Amino acid sequence: MELLTYEYWGSIYKIPSFSYHTLIVGTGAAGFNAADSLYNLGVTDIAILTEGVNMGTSRNTGSDKQTYYKLTLAGGMPDSVRGMAETLFDCGSMHGDIALCEAAGSAGAFFKLVSLGVPFPANEMGEYVGYKTDHDPAMRATSCGPLTSRLMTEALERSVRAKNIPIVDGCRVIRLLTDEADGDNTRSQKVAGCAALCDDAVTEDNPMGLCFFLCENMIWAAGGPSAIYKSTVYPESQTCAHGTLFLAGVKGASLTESQYGIASTKFRWNLSGTYQQVLPRYISVDPEGVEHEFLDDYFPAPAHQLTAIFLKGYEWPFDPRKIWRDGRRASSAIDLAVFAELQKGRRVYMDFTRNPSCADRNGKLDFSLLEETPLAYLSNSGALLDTPIARLQKMNPRAIALYADHGIDLTTEPLEIAVCAQHNNGGIAVDADWQTSIGGLYCAGEAAGTFGICRPGGTALNSTQVGSLRAAQHIAAKTEQTKEEPAPAAQGIFAALHASAAPSPRTMTEEVYYQSETVLQLTAALLDKTDGLPSSELLSIRNTFAGEMSRSGAFLRHAGELETLYAHRRLQLAGFFSVHRAKDTRALRELFIDYDILLTQYVYIGAMLDYLRHGGISRGSAVYTQDTVDVLLAADKPQDIDTVHASLVQETRFERMTGEVTSEFVPVRPIPDAELWFETVYNRRKT
């Protein structure tokens, strides 16, 4: 560590600078696995930067039984690496080499988690049993219950802490530092480090808490763009960090492709699987307190309504293809109906205490109304019981206990819901080593745009493990490991802020120093204890941004509204730091987060508009329309679905010099015919 001295407007600032071979940003399942894998591969000069170890999606989200997707590891059903890769690739707008890597790495990543104590279920013979999830032909799905990703994250964290890998907590990265690439013909820039606001670094000489971290490589695992929407199932503790990458010129991929679905709002949680399969009652309540079972308006035949609710468990993400199917309204019409009720100013609930009235007979479900699929499922589960809560207690008691742990009693009260953003299939563009368009900068987990139009449920968790391992392997392969020194202990990382310290082994070039000076000037200018805004006002601004995005750029996208919002965001970005000031260091951090969210929205909206300009129509989990939700619900035929762009991936970037968002469609890379002859691969190994 060394203290760098800067002068700005007559004040002297002393900013700590730290140096590591590789930095990891984020402490979810991807970030912890990246650090653990690097260390296991001999790259030990590393550190993890995180806003909060206990924050983030991996640790704080789930569903009825959160799915992990991997190769089939039980029974006699045939499966193969190539077969799994084709399943991923066939979803559309996904690169084949990434699909093959995710398939090939799935078994190894899964068994690493097993070895770390993640309790995936196995039968008495040791077979890891599975089930089918959406878009899955081979029963590749498995689960530890509602908290699969949390159990993964906690197991990986234990392994990381056992290795004494430094974790810099309370650290928000606000800018990347980049330099010109050396001898890299494919990338014009390389990562050089980052600037961050760190809780433990606030001093009289550094009132902003600013720190610089230099590195040769960085693995970005900070999660999805969670706070760009107001109706969201992402945890409140997670915000958004994509803007930091876009500002540095990093390319995005498939930014238009997200997943949205029905979730609870008081406690943010996906309501998929068993929550739907037990056939709860859907109700809305108007401002006068009048209750309405609104699905009756759209599903006049009880059997059709019950099947649509049941299939919402399998088909949780909203899908334009499933609004109308086989001559009748289907499961995704429920999402539209929920949204329509919310648009009327009503509050919407799922009620597990009573059956849908269309099928209730004196407090008992009339099972004669059920079609074959839901009837067989409930019968095989031993759940031909009177009420939804009784059926849920039989099939998945943990799903009830989960809400009880958060103060919600499903046995006595309805559960408030909305149609919420849940996962971004797109994100930052990466290659088959999960390296971005900037050399030495890798991206793993949800932040990486490895998926396209859709994906089998649970593939996101597999991607956290395979992607972070691929990045670690690529870094290790190019690293001279004999020159590495163990990293310092985490607890001592800020202990020597005012003590003399040896110079950093990595020094700033003139270009990187210029960037660091610019960041120092910006942060110093934004901290205004007299006229600055408190955190509460900055959070209010954020909510306004998010509400506008949920109305115009979520699962229903209106071209005219997107154009208006795009122009508005551009003006807001241009004047953001000249208009806003922060009252204290906490507000300073919130100010940078607000800017990050604003910039991310701007880039995502730009990608949506470009998709429309290229003739794009509804697909994945979004309807592009000029119609109201009521018109969509009244339609008596399926949506037209895009078939033109499935063989293409949209790449998007923010042009910092012009303020424009630019995109291009590139052909998907096919699934490669990788070398399979054993002797060739065997002799290719390093000895």
pLDDT interval class at 498 (50, 70, 90): very low
The answer to whether residue 27 scores a pLDDT higher than 50 is yes
pLDDT interval class at 184 (50, 70, 90): low
Statement to judge: residues 535 and 411 lie in one domain: no
The answer to whether residue 88 scores a pLDDT higher than 90 is yes
Place of tokens 């046995």: 411
Statement to judge: residues 389 and 265 lie in one domain: yes
Q: How far is Cα 118 from Cα 148, in angstroms, rounded to an integer? A: 8
Of 385, 405, 422, which closes a domain? 422
Strand-pairing partners, residue 675, are: none
**Is there a domain that residue 569 lies in?**
yes
**Is there a domain that residue 357 lies in?**
yes
CA-nearest of 54, 47, 51, 84 to 69 is 84
Tally: H helices and E strands in the chain = 20, 26
For residues 629 and 339, the answer to whether their CB atoms sit within 8 Å is yes
Statement to judge: residues 532 and 418 lie in one domain: no
Q: What is the pLDDT of residues 625-665, one digit of tens each?
A: 999 999 999 998 899 999 999 999 999 999 999 999 999 99
Q: What is the pLDDT of residues 474-490, one digit of tens each?
A: 999 998 754 455 555 54
At 1, the amino acid letter reads M
- Three-state SS at 175: strand
- Percentage of the chain exceeding pLDDT 90: 86
> DSSP letter string over 611-650?
HHHTT--SBTTBEE-SS-HHHHHH--SPPP---SSTTEEE
**Is there a domain that residue 166 lies in?**
no
> CA 522 → CA 122, 201, 312, 592, 623, distances in Å?
55, 17, 48, 11, 40
Q: What is the pLDDT of residues 534-557, one digit of tens each?
A: 999 999 989 999 999 999 999 999
> DSSP letter string over 479-517?
--GGG--PPPPGGGTTTTTTS--PPPSS---HHHHHHHH
Q: How far is Cα 398 from Cα 64, in angstroms, rounded to an integer? A: 8
Statement to judge: residues 267 and 416 lie in one domain: yes
The DSSP element (H or E) to which 281 belongs, if any, is: strand 281-285
Statement to judge: residues 282 and 414 lie in one domain: yes
Segment among 37-46, 77-86, 631-640 with least mean pLDDT: 631-640
**pLDDT given for residue 194 in this prediction:** 98
pLDDT interval class at 75 (50, 70, 90): very high
**Is there a domain that residue 142 lies in?**
no
pLDDT interval class at 502 (50, 70, 90): very low
Of 422, 456, 471, which closes a domain? 422
**pLDDT given for residue 382 in this prediction:** 97
Statement to judge: residues 415 and 534 lie in one domain: no
**pLDDT given for residue 500 in this prediction:** 36
Total number of domains in the chain? 2
**Is there a domain that residue 566 lies in?**
yes
CA-nearest of 529, 523, 526 to 580 is 526
**Token representation of residue 337:** 């109906």
For residues 28 and 52, the answer to whether their CB atoms sit within 8 Å is no
Q: How far is Cα 234 from Cα 4, in angstroms, rounded to an integer? A: 38
Segment among 126-135, 316-325, 592-601 with least mean pLDDT: 126-135
**pLDDT given for residue 134 in this prediction:** 79
Statement to judge: residues 264 and 402 lie in one domain: yes
Strand-pairing partners, residue 269, are: 264
**Is there a domain that residue 410 lies in?**
yes
pLDDT interval class at 526 (50, 70, 90): very high
**pLDDT given for residue 664 in this prediction:** 98
**Is there a domain that residue 456 lies in?**
no
Q: What mean pLDDT, rounded, does the chain reach?
A: 93
CA-nearest of 120, 95, 94 to 107 is 120
- Percentage of the chain exceeding pLDDT 70: 96
**Is there a domain that residue 372 lies in?**
yes
pLDDT interval class at 207 (50, 70, 90): very high
Rounded to an integer, the average pLDDT of 338-357 is 97
Q: How far is Cα 201 from Cα 194, in angstroms, rounded to an integer? A: 15
Residues spanned by the domain of 395:
260-422
**pLDDT given for residue 416 in this prediction:** 98
Q: What is the pLDDT of residues 359-406, one digit of tens each?
A: 999 999 999 999 999 999 999 999 999 999 999 999 999 999 999 999
Backbone CA torsion sign across 599, 602, 604, 607: negative
Strand-pairing partners, residue 363, are: none
Of 391, 422, 453, which closes a domain? 422
**CATH number assigned to the domain comprising residue 644:** 1.20.58.100
Q: What is the pLDDT of residues 228-252, one digit of tens each?
A: 999 999 988 889 999 999 999 999 9
**CATH number assigned to the domain comprising residue 370:** 3.90.700
Residues with Cβ within 8 Å of residue 515, at least 6 apart in sequence: 175, 177, 178
Rounded to an integer, the average pLDDT of 81-95 is 97
Q: What is the pTM of this model?
A: 0.95
**pLDDT given for residue 483 in this prediction:** 46
Q: How far is Cα 433 from Cα 535, in angstroms, rounded to an integer? A: 39
